[in-house]
Every structure is written in structure tokens, then in C-alpha cells.
Chains A and B, each alone.
Chain A
Amino acid sequence: MALSGLDIYKLLPKTNCKECGFPTCLAFAMKLSQKGAELSACPYVSDEAKAALEAASSPPIRLITIGTGENKIVVGNEVVLFRHEKTFYHEPGLVVRVADSWEPEKIAEVVSQVDGYVVERVGMKLTLNGIAVENVSGDAARFVQAVQLVKQKTALPLVLMSANAAAMDAALQIVGPDKPLVYAATPENWQAYADLAKKYACPLAITDSGDLSRLGSLAEAVIKAGVADLVLDPGTRNLADSLASLTQLRRLALKKNLRLLGFPILAFAGGDDSTLEEQSILATELIAKYAGIVVLGRFDPTGIYPLLTFRQNIYTDPQKPIQVSPGMYKFGEPGEQSPLLITTNFSLTYFTVAGEVEGSGVPSWLVIADSEGMSVLTAWAAGKFDAEKIAKSVKSAGMDDKLGHRKLVIPGYVATLSGEVEEELPGWQILVGPREAVDIPSYLKTVWKAA
């Protein structure tokens, strides 16, 4: 929570000595609150005041980095409970778990698939983010072997999962510089795990079985021991309990300003024995409701694609809708005589129209005009979707060469533009399509056919 100028003033020496370059302590405080000055400009500020100001200016949910380089996972720093209040900033890392008890071939296979998984949606590449290696065997040597193998196969960040501090230490000797997440400190072993996290300067997960007071006590102990970068696993595993504990943690951090539990959350979406459906359902919940890291118990492309799509959807900034690239889009295998439609590049407009055109089964061409991300009506009102823009979009999509006809279907909401578009596109016949996308299939099957 940011402090007001007056709050800051109360923490200053109030001597008005002017050494900071401001006439009074109050003036300096006001400037500080607007982030127009640095606290270090005042040589007389007390350590206590410094600590209070730092705490107040740090985010309620600490930003945590797992891994290094371009693949690193960065989570935390969220500021709202509901995305419409602002936006969700840092997409949760989706990591896939492998067990050191598996045959090396199986580990290598799964890791390679996770590493190579990439699908594209609205011009963005969607990928998985890491591998969790679990010391199921309990054996240190086997754990180290598995970690080594995983490191050979991928540069993605790692989560090291072991209840054996010696095994963890051995693994960290190899991959410590890659900054894996160390999982996990418990009320029993926390001292050893805090030491490891400090020794290798890695983020540390802490876990307890579902009780947030106990989790808070554990966080306090670990923070006092000198670990700053924490990830919380509240220990809840099923749909209802996870929703409750993750909601409470987000509220505690944002509404109660509880620094002790102001860290990203790690949660498991099912284990070995979950079905793909169970994993998908739980992961969908965790993505929407506040997880920072989601550990998937199984890798299956069919289940991954909806999750990556959902994460992209939920983490889209509501104030900055995704725009679709302007240009020409094909549905089915359109030919010379297929219909040509045009609409704007607001993503929801595009998706609604695209869904209906696709659903109609009529192979079609769709030109997307650059309306700066506005829907048809808004763009028309703002002059971003006028006759000139329509004509230009059709020409630059090179439709002249692709079509045997010269007919363009414009959205029903801009019916009034049809005359002007005809002037801009000599030789073309302008047809007025339906106002609502839902009527496109029947339009294409009847009106278009007759035209």
C-alpha cells in the first residue's frame, strides 16, 4: 500500500534543514509520495523510517523469479482480486512434473515434449514453462541423475521436489546456478531448507497442510533466517479447499496487507492418479483463482492446449483488448467464387465473426481492417472504419487477384456506408450483411447464394 505525503512526513526528522534540496520536510515528503524524489536525498532519515517506507513501497505480493535467461518464470506483483478491477499481470507458470523413479527414457521423453510444446494463438506463442523433478525414490543419487538428465534436455526453469535435504543439496550443486525453486520447507525441516536456499541463492517454497496460521509461522521463521524469495504452497489439494485457501491468501496480501504471506502461490493440479479431465478442471480453477505456479501431474497435448488458451484469455488486460493482425483470413478452402466479408480487428469481433463463418461450413474470405482494436460500431463512430478504410483494406489484402467476382459483404451496422464504399471501389458490388454475427451462417447460405 502506497503511503500518502502526510504519512511520509510523520516519518521524517521535521527539522526543515533543506539539505534534501526542498524547502521543508513536508515538501520533500509530498514529492516522495509522487515518486519525484529519492529517500536517500535526506541524510537524517532514521533506519526505522527507511524500513517503513521500503515496506510500504514494495508490492503486496512479492515478485519472484524462478530460473534464468529468457525462459525464466516471473510471478507475483498482482494487485487485484478480480481482473476487471485492473488486470492480472504475471501469467502463472505451468510446469510438468516428472519423477526420479521413472525410467530415464520416460523422463527424457516427457521433458523433450514439454520443451518443444508451442502453439500459436492471436499471434502469440503459447508454451509451458518448466519441469518439476520429484525425488519419489527418496534416493539422493537417483535424484541427482534425474536432475542432470532434465538439465540436458531443457533450458526451462526447474522446481526441485525432495523431502531429503541431502538429496536437495546434491542436486543444487549441479543446478543451483540455474536458480530452481526449492520445494519445500516444512515446519519440521525448514532450517536446513532455508540454509540451502541461502547457500545457492534460490527461491524457496514453503508448505504446510492447509492451515494458514501455521503457514504464516513458517514464513516468519524462514524470513527471519534470511530467505527473502518465497513461494507458498498452502497444502490444499482438492477443488473446494484450494479455491478457499488461494482466495484467502490473495485477500490477506491485498486487503489486509499481510507481508508474511505476500508471495506467489504454488499449487498442484492433480497427481499420478488423476484423470486428464480432473487435472484440466483443477488447473482451470487454479489459473483463474490466484496460482503463480501450477504443477501438472501429467503431460498430454490435448489437455495442455485448452489450459494455455485459458491462461492467455484470463491474463489479457481488460483495458487493452488483444487486436488481431489486419489482413486476409481464410475459412475452409475458399475459391474464386467464395464470399468475401470484412470486419474490424477488435479480437472479440474477429472471434465472433470467425466462429460463425467457420461454423457455417461455407468456405469464405474474411478481410480484417485495422480499426485500432475497436468493434464495428465504435470504430465506425470514431471514423476508424469508414469507406476509405474498407476500400484500402480490401485492396491491400490483394483480393482483386483471388476472386472471380467483385462482391463485398460489409457488416449490417455500417449499412449506411455501402454507397460510399461503392465509390471507393469502382466496379464492386457492396452487399449489406447481417448486423449480428450469429446471423452470418444463414446469410451465407441464402442471401449470398442468391446474390
Chain B
Amino acid sequence: MPVTVELPKEKWNGKVREITLGATPAQGGTRTSTVTVGGETTLPFLHFEGSIPHRPALAVEMQDVPPQDWSTTLLEAWDTAASDPVSWAKKAVELGADALAVKLRGTHPERQNRSAAEAAETVKAILGAVGVPLIVYGPEVAEKDNEVLVAVAEAAAGERLALGNCEDKNYRTIVAGALAHGHLVVAKTPIDVNLAKQLNILISDMGLPLDRVLMDPTTGALGYGIEYTYSVMERLRLAALMGDSMTQQPMICTVGEESWRQKESKVKDGVPSLWGDFAGRGPLWEMATAMALLQSGADILVLRHPKTIKTMRETIDKLMSS
């Protein structure tokens, strides 16, 4: 007797918000391409059940100053491009970046302590050199973040940058800057569903429309807490699909930064030989972290290694072709 199996489909009534980064000249910016993420009405890549109008985007992480603490695997891959933000930006776009995640590390008080004005100049130079949208991060020191990001917001008015990070202790000034100059923000909370919702509420209470808020649930790398991030993202995405408005922000994951921070990616000698080849290990660590979080709902992956960028692009091609 032939068996007929009816394929189970969930009926979701919620939808992830669609968010566009970057603005073209017609939209008040200068970008030649923009990135739209979100809009899903089902779980990641379940095309048989709902619509996934936009592919997850790849943002490539770069810095305004040559990195001091990056793994040699990364430094060798970027080589001289990393010595200057404009050449780095161009190279990243050549390698397939949909967007750039610019970290203004040089403004850190313990690094070069560059001024907000200098940082704004750097961002302007990158905007002049490439056409993709930018996500811009301050030095991740509360007061300096405010100073730097407000200057950047003003200098790049109308570009629809994403400004990060907004955290519960430090979001007002950045949100105000985004509101005043037509930008988006990245709302970052420490691996917790309720804290994520709460910050979205606080930000939207300031009048920033929710289609200008990306949510960063905090990334734990493979082997370093990825299961917490994975499950919090699944819970956020399930809540979004069930109609909980304050969880419907697209999610951005800082995969590169977290996976390249770990011993596996950084330490070449004195580790077990079964860890395998050092040059290959870091990129695979980053790829596995990226793949895991794509499956739990990542809409933007922030990556570091050129090989990861290529592999994740091909991976997303395959996941979207159905």
C-alpha cells in the first residue's frame, strides 16, 4: 500500500522586519548598492513553508587603523590592504562584501586616541572609495562611542549607515544621532531574549522607527558559548514568527570578531597536533560559527577572513536556491 505523507507546515503569523542599509543618490545618500535584509515569514531557509525575500548579507569587518591583535592567519590574508582603510575597503568589496563593518579602533583612548573629527574623515574617505553600505562601530568605550558616532552620523548624513553598538547603558546619544541624520542603529544585548526586547522598546520609544534597528544578540564563537547564542536566536526568531513585534528585528552576528579571538584561530604552536593545520583552522572555525548562526536566524554575518567570505557566499547561494 503506498503511503502518502503530508508534509508538515507551520502557520506563522509574524514576519521579520525588512531593513535597508545604505541609501542611493535618489534616496539621499551616495551608495551605488544597498542591502535589504529580513522579511522572512518562516524559519531559516525553509522555503517550502514561507517566504525568504532576501538573502542573508555578508559584511566584512575592517578597521580604521592596522589591527594589533589579529591572528597572523588574517594579517597574511589581508596583507598590505590592511595598512590603510581605503585600500582595505576596496579589497573587501572586491572579495564580495555586501557591506562593510568599519571598526573605528583608532579612536580608542588606549590606542591612537584619534578624535571624532578624524574618525568622521575616515568614514567619509571609505564612503568615497566604495559604493556598498557601511556599519560603523565606535571604540566600544561608552563616552568616546557617543562622541565618535555622533560626528560620523553628522558627516555621513543621509547615507543610512548602521551605527553600533547601542547597549542599555549607552544608547540615547547614538539613537539621537541616527534619528537626526537618517541612519540605523545596531542594538546589542548580552544573549538574552528579554533584554533584547527591552532595548528595542527603549530605542523605539525615542522615536526611531523599528525598520531602522538591527539586533545583535551577542555572538559566542564555536566552542565558546555558541550554543547560548544559537538558542537565544532560535527563541527570538520563533517569537518573531509568532507575532511578537519587539523581536522582529533582523539579527546581525559578529562571527569574525568572536571566532578569531580564540586560541584555535590564534595560536599556532604548542597545541595538540590533531587540531590540524593552523592556516586552515581559523577560517574553518569562523565558517562553522557562521553556518551555525545562519541556521538560527542570522540576517547579517560580519566576517573577517577572505576564505570565509567566499565560502559563506557560496553557502548562501545554495541555501537560497530552492
Binding site for B on A (CB under 8 A): 82-84, 117-121, 212-217, 219-220, 238-241, 243-244, 247-248, 251-252, 255-256, 258, 260-261, 276-278, 280-281, 284-285, 288-289, 300-307, 309-310, 313-314, 316, 318, 347-348, 351-352, 355-356, 358-359, 361, 438, 441-442, 445-446
Contact = CB atoms under 8 A, between A and B. Distances in A.
B231 A83 contact: yes
Nearest to B8: A251
A220 B3 contact: yes
Given A302-B284, A351-B224, A256 B8 contact: yes
A280 B281 CA distance: 11
Given A280-B287, A306-B285, A313-B222, A244 B46 contact: yes
Contact of B284 (A121, A238, A280): A280
B322 interface: yes
Nearest to B281: A302
Contacts of A305: 264, 274-276, 281
A244 B276 contact: no
Given A247-B43, A285-B291, 8 more contacts: A240-B318, A277-B311, A288-B292, A302-B277, A303-B280, A306-B281, A359-B69, A446-B110
Given A82-B234, A318-B231, A243 B110 contact: no
User: Lowest 9 CB-CB distances: which A-B pairs, in order?
Assistant: A302-B276, A216-B3, A301-B276, A240-B322, A84-B231, A251-B8, A284-B291, A306-B288, A351-B224
B4 to A, nearest CB: 5
Given A121-B223, A241-B322, A351-B225, A212 B1 contact: no
Contact of A240 (B7, B45, B230, B287): B45
B263 interface: yes
A217 to B, nearest CB: 5
Contacts of B262: 355, 358
A310 B222 contact: yes
Given A244-B46, A289-B295, A306-B288, A313 B226 contact: yes
Contacts of A355: 221, 224, 261-262
14 contacts: A83-B227, A217-B2, A240-B320, A244-B45, A244-B47, A255-B8, A284-B291, A302-B275, A305-B264, A305-B275, A309-B223, A318-B231, A359-B69, A438-B140
B225 A212 contact: no
A284 B230 contact: no
A276 B280 contact: yes
Contacts of A310: 222-223, 226, 288, 292
